[in-house]
Structure 1
Amino acid sequence: MTTSEGNLAGKLVVLVGGSGFFGAHVAQELLSRGARLRVVCRNPKKAFRLKPLANLGQIQFVRADLTDRAVLPAVVADADAVVNLVGAFGGDLDAVHVHGPAALAKAAGEAGAEAFVHISALGCDAESEVDYARTKAAGEAAVLAAFPKATILRPSIIFGSDDNFITMFARLISRLPVLPVFGPDAKLQPVFVDDAAHAVANALTNPGKHGGKTYDVAGPEVITMGELNRRIAKAQGRKPLFADLPDAVSGMIATCTGWLPGAPISSDQWKLLKAGNVAGKGPGLKELGVAPRPLSLFLDRWMVAYRKHGRFSDKRGLA
């Protein structure tokens, strides 16, 4: 059973990078526990959709860039807790994943924040040749050096009805009769977005228990890329032809075309996919008081919109 380890009534939580998909769900969970939110992002207008979730005076929006160290003390002023959700796959990743989070953690500590949650990534590796994985690992070390009682969360691929992962495959499968599958045997352990958000909130409400620890945030089942595509197709009531690409072909396509705009997969994405995205043997959602829910619990309902005749394709609805 998933449990809430306490509420955050009246606490000021600074949510850095809170305008995105995961940030919106974290915000909703924190607001439901009574927290006051300061949502920080480069374009606050993207976060205005969170306004209806809050009571009057419960949420504010601040324009700031994580890589601008000069503004960070003001960003975290009077904060009881700070969450860093910022991440990127391109650009200056050392600035975004390492130096920025370290400066934010330092500012949070100096401001007297009781808790700091840093969102890293499952599979991060300080020795990786992929900049994303390398800088994510370096960022963890930098944050802990600046804020030793920070909680590090390493989420797997996060899924939800409004994500850019399941919905991307759903659109492709609904439109194409033949679909290539890169890395069909690559293993994933996707986690439901609200379970991941619950983990963030639990870490914040009990920093004495979770501070200074690192958790893998992953779902309850390991599936392959090939299986994922076929599950989505089945939930849509479709039977496309899946062309499982050998690793050599996938790697060649990623190397030769990955740098082009709109390419199906980049070289770095292919390397990360091939390495897999599965939790290790350390603490995970269970230790954070969260019972993760499987994709199968939601997929049939979410795929109704992608069926040939929508909900009218389900004969059971006509009985």
Structure 2
Amino acid sequence: MEYQAMVKPVIGILGGSGFVGSYLSNELIKNGYAVRIITRKRENARHLWLLPQSEIKVTKTFTKKGLSQVLDGCVAVVNLIGVLNEKWDNGKGFKAVHTDITENLLEACKRLDIPQLLQITALNANKSEASHYLKSKNAAEAILLASKVEKTTKANQNGKITSLPKVTIIRPSVIFGSRDSFTNRFHTLLKFSPPIFPLAMGHTRLQPIYVGDVVNTILKIIQNPQVRQDAYDIAGPEILTLKEIVEYIAKLAGCRTKILPLGGGLSAIQANIMQYCPGKPFSRDNLRSLKVESICTDENGLSQLDIIPTSMDSIVPGYLAKKSSRFAYYKFRDRT
């Protein structure tokens, strides 16, 4: 009697070597899937080389043809590709990454009859006409949502019936976790900060969400492709100002730095200066994005998927506080 190895369904992940993608790859494999990580350079995913049930596919260009070549055989695709800054402050860099790649990906999914496409964008991306980042995210959403009004099937040039993928858009608030570029960046900046830390748009409200909750959202939608909703707005359990978050990080870092929120004018000056600092820690477009509060205005999508949101206090001390030699003192002080 011959036995055949069970073929596991393959999930393609664009941006799979990044912060969220690394968590997602591990979780998908734990739940019986194989993953195909799409990247421009194999070295970008070297921390995932030894991950079982995974393969790295390299494509130099994210064109329709290039994506069709690397995604063939996938049962679902998750698009995590995103950048926080562009070289020039004109929107073209964001459009190329967020909007154009999404359009090419949709066409590739149609060509390959991939039944499911999940797009990760940003909470309240439709509420800014100024931020190039948010506008490009919203434009990508518009392309995907427009495809849903097409007929469910259409004939291609060869007369073959091509199914449109089931598209689901996931809009998270700012994401935190041990490898994030949010809490870790502020932790690093605070270590070298003077006694007063000037903070642009410090009164903007955010609803930070744990990366594990984002991954669970993606997993639940993949496991149930017949989800009724086209989009889910997801966020954490707490609404905090940026100032409150940075003060919390400072406490974990053992810093006595005073956080000073800046008004609109001073925030703009800070952005204009830091725009040209190495690594571009804060740009003019970051400032424009921060003018839009990243909070759920409707029902939190996590509750719709029966996911209990994870608080910052249950996760962040585990990876930030231990970096500070003074944390033991602050922990003791809080108990007195």
TM-score in terms of structure 2 length = 0.83
For 1:241, the aligned partner's letter is K
Unaligned runs of 5+ in 1: 1-8
Q: Does 1:180 align with 2:178?
A: no
Match for residue 202 of structure 1? 220
Partner of 1:59: 54
1:112 offset after TM fit, Å?
A: 2.3
Per the TM alignment, residue 296 of structure 1 is displaced from its structure 2 partner at its CA by 1.3
Name the CA shift for 1:263/1:23 in 2 (closer, same or farther; >3 Å).
closer
- Tell me the alpha carbon deviations over residues 260-311 of structure 1, each in whole angstroms, 9 at most, x when there is no partner: 5445421111111122211221551111232110101123333333323465
Secondary structure at the aligned position of 2:55 is classed as strand
Kept after mapping to 1: 8 A contact 2:113/2:165 = no
Q: Distance in 1 between matches of 2:113 and 2:276?
A: 44
1:197 deviation in Å? 0.7
Whether the 8 Å CA contact 2:110–2:165 is kept in 1: the answer is no
Partner SS, residue 195 of structure 1: helix
Q: Counterparts of 2:105 and 2:14 in 1: how far apart (Å)?
A: 9
Question: What RMSD, in angstroms, separates the aligned Cα atoms of the two structures?
Answer: 2.4
Aligned residue in 1 for 2:260: 243
Letter in 2 for 1:75: V
Q: Is the 1:215–1:282 contact (alpha carbons within 8 Å) kept by the matching residues of 2?
A: no
Mean Cα displacement is larger for which, 142-151 or 167-176? Answer: 142-151
Partner of 1:25: 23
- Please give the secondary structure, in 2, of the residue aligned with 1:208: coil
Specify whether residues 132 and 313 from structure 1 end up closer, same or farther in structure 2 by C-alpha distance, changes over 3 A only.
closer
CA contact (8 A) 1:67 1:95 kept: no
Structure 1 range deviating more: 248-257 or 266-275: 248-257
Q: Which residue of 1 aligns with 2:174?
A: 157
> Which 5+ residue runs of structure 2 have no aligned equivalent?
1-6, 87-91, 148-163
Distance 1:299 1:38, change over 3 A: closer
Residues 309, 158 of structure 1: CA spacing in aligned structure 2 closer, same or farther, 3 A cutoff?
A: same
CA distance in 2, matches of 1:224, 1:268: 19
Following TM superposition, by how much is the alpha carbon of 1:82 offset from its aligned partner in structure 2, in angstroms?
A: 0.7
- Provide the rounded CA distance (Å) in 2 between the counterparts of 1:150 and 1:80: 13
Query: Any idea what SS the aligned residue of 1:285 has?
Result: helix
Change in 2 beyond 3 A, CA 1:312/1:239? closer
SS of 1:242's partner is strand
SS in 1 for 2:48: helix
- Tell me the distance in 2 between the aligned counterparts of 1:227 and 1:127: 24
Map of 1:6 onto structure 2:
none
Letter of the 2:73 counterpart: D
Q: Give the Cα separation in 1 of the matches to 2:196 and 2:127.
A: 38
1:99 is matched with 100
**Distance in 2 between the 1:114 and 1:297 partners?**
37
Kept after mapping to 1: 8 A contact 2:128/2:289: no
Q: Report the equivalent of 2:33.
A: 35
**Counterpart for residue 76 of structure 2:** 81
1:226-241 to 2 correspondence within 5 Å? 226-241=243-258
Task: Indicate the residue corresponding to 1:293 in structure 2.
Answer: 310
Q: Equivalents in 1 of 2:252, 2:234: separation in Å? A: 26
Tell me the distance in 2 between the aligned counterparts of 1:311 and 1:244: 28
Q: How does 1:245-264 map to 2 (within 5 A)?
A: 245-255=262-272, 258-264=275-281
CA 1:165–1:60 in structure 2 vs 1: closer, same or farther (change >3 Å)? Answer: same
Q: Aligned to 1:86, what secondary structure does the other structure show? A: coil
TM-score by length of 1: 0.87
**Residues of 1 paired with 2:288 and 2:308: CA distance?**
30
Task: Measure, in 1, the Cα distance between the counterparts of 2:13 and 2:26.
Answer: 11
